[in-house]
């Protein structure tokens, strides 16, 4: 499928989705969000794909929702179309792991899109921010909710109320990103992480994604019960027998997603 605002490459079980609106620092417009959702659904349906990397350019992962597009809209427009709500629900419904590889600006909707991924690997040039306050609005895709859960109230308030940018070191210290690498090594690192995930049993991978994400939706008690039951259920899989047998026999496991 040919896209205009993203580039998709599938290699060795990894789908690389690159946001590609260089003239607008990958600002998220309706076409880009539609194409991104389509590509993710295709990755979900493609048995060859076992992990997705979402990235942008060296200068910008994404500098936010497209301000030129939004500047022409009023309340009735954004409320009626539920601006980017269905798209963010669609992204969150993808069951395969999605790793965000972030270099440069990840601002507003760009930061929020990165947070919709399962984890973020940042280059040392990455800059995160929720600067919507400077436009007379506020975060609309998780910047006041996911960000608060990821980095805590004080920093989330600071980011949202001042609109300041957070560099990669602070983002790692705060728990927003899982690791920081030199900018020239970002894609190599993301690919090696994605290939490592792709070697695992897809049943286990999806179960883990579902369980970690459940922790944001429920109480600790219910979450622990959910985790325990999913853990138990994995004992019904051939991959559990294989994984444990391989350990005992001191060999590499051959997972078959069964």
- Point out which span in 106-114, 186-194, 211-219, 222-230 binds ligand HXC (CB under 6 A): 106-114
**Any catalytic annotation for residue 132?**
yes
> What H or E segment, with its residue span, contains residue 89?
helix 85-92
**Any catalytic annotation for residue 112?**
yes
**Any catalytic annotation for residue 172?**
no
**Any catalytic annotation for residue 65?**
yes
CB 105 to ligand HXC: min, Å:
4
Quote the CA–CA distance of 170 and 174 in Å, as a whole number. Answer: 6
- Burial class of residue 27 (count of CB atoms within 10 Å of its CB; 0-12, 13-18, 19+): buried
Among 63, 114, 180, 186, binds ligand HXC (CB under 6 A): 63
- DSSP letters, 38-100, are HHHHHHHH-TT--EEEEE--SSEEE-SB-HHHHHT--HHHHHHHTTTHHHHHHHHT--S-EEE
Q: Residue 141 carries which DSSP code?
A: S
Q: Which of 35, 87, 112, 172 is catalytic?
A: 112
Among 37, 39, 66, 207, binds ligand HXC (CB under 6 A): 66
Q: Helices marked H in 121-181 — which ranges?
A: 146-151, 153-162, 168-174
Between 136 and 221, CB nearer to ligand HXC: 136
And the tokens for 77? 């427009």
Instruction: Examine residue 142 and tell whether it contacts ligand HXC (CB under 6 A).
Output: no
Among 14, 37, 53, 64, binds ligand HXC (CB under 6 A): 64
Among 17, 61, 105, 150, binds ligand HXC (CB under 6 A): 105
Q: What does the binding site for ligand HXC look like in residue numbers (CB under 6 A)?
A: 24-25, 27, 63-68, 83-84, 105, 107-109, 131-132, 135, 140-141
Q: Which residues are catalytic?
A: 65, 109, 112, 132
């Amino acid at each position: 499928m040919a896209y205009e605002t993203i580039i998709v490459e599938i290699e060795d079980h990894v789908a690389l989705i690159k946001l590609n609106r260089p003239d607008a620092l990958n600002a998220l417009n309706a076409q880009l969000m539609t194409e991104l959702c389509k590509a993710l659904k295709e990755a979900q349906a493609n048995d060859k794909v076992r992990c997705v990397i979402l990235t942008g350019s060296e200068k910008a992962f994404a500098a936010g929702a497209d301000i030129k597009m939004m500047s022409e809209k009023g309340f009735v427009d954004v409320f009626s179309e539920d601006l980017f709500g269905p798209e963010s629900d669609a992204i969150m419904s993808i069951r395969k792991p999605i790793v965000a590889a972030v270099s440069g600006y990840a601002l507003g909707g760009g930061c929020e899109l990165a947070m919709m991924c399962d984890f973020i690997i940042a280059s040392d040039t990455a800059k995160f921010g929720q600067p919507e306050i400077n436009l007379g609005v506020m975060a609309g895709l998780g910047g006041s909710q996911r960000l608060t859960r990821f980095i805590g109230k004080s920093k989330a308030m600071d980011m949202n109320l001042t609109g300041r940018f957070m560099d990669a070191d602070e983002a790692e210290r705060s728990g927003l990103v899982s690791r920081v690498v030199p900018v020239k090594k970002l894609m190599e690192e993301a690919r090696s992480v994605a290939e490592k995930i792709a070697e695992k049993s897809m049943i286990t991978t999806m179960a883990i994604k579902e369980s970690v994400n459940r922790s944001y939706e429920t109480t600790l008690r219910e979450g622990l019960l959910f985790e325990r039951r999913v853990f138990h259920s994995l004992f019904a899989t051939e991959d559990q027998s294989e994984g444990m047998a391989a350990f005992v026999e001191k060999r590499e496991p051959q997972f078959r997603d069964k």
